[in-house]
Amino acid sequence: MRIFKTKDFNKWAKKQTITDDSLINAVIEIEKGLVDANYGGYLYKKRIPVFDRGKSSGIRTLIAIRVKDKAFFLYGFAKNQRSNINNNEEQVYKFLGKKLLSYSEHEIVKHVQSGALIELEGNYGK
């Protein structure tokens, strides 16, 4: 399994002090069937704990994932800032997720080199 963050998600995650280990753990939980919302089209919402606050008051992430293949963290938000995404945003993230999941190895390398995608270090099963 290879795990990536988009450039925008990475910038947001740094401000929130979210560790790559937390993101990897979120993907592991999704693979075990522990999801907060399945939007269909390989798009999931997953809560991630921040420091000692726990998951319920932590942050929410949108992840495009094809189990045992690739995962892309697309968007994140704090629970106290908004409760969920709207229907238009859902459609946009489904489209983006499907596009990223369809990338060939060559396209992934190109986007990682350009900085548009950041691959998490220490991915399991790599």
Print pLDDT tens along the chain (126 aa): 899 999 999 999 998 888 899 999 999 999 999 998 999 999 999 998 876 555 556 789 999 999 889 999 999 998 777 778 999 999 999 999 999 999 999 999 999 999 999 999 865 654
Cα→Cα distances 124→30, 38, 68, 87, Å: 14, 23, 10, 33
Note the pLDDT of residue 79: 75
Q: Which residues of 98-117 are buried (b: 16+ CB within 10 A; e: fewer)?
A: eebbebeeeebeebeeeeeb
CA dihedral 37, 39, 44, 49 (to 10 degrees): -30
- Whether 40 and 94 have beta carbons less than 8 Å apart is answered as yes
Give the start-to-end residue ranges of the domains of the chain.
Answer: 2-119
Note the pLDDT of residue 107: 97
Give the DSSP letter of residue 38.
E
Residue count of the chain:
126
Note the pLDDT of residue 58: 74
- pTM: predicted TM-score of the whole model, two decimal places: 0.90
SS3 content of the chain, % helix, strand, coil (to 5): 35, 30, 35
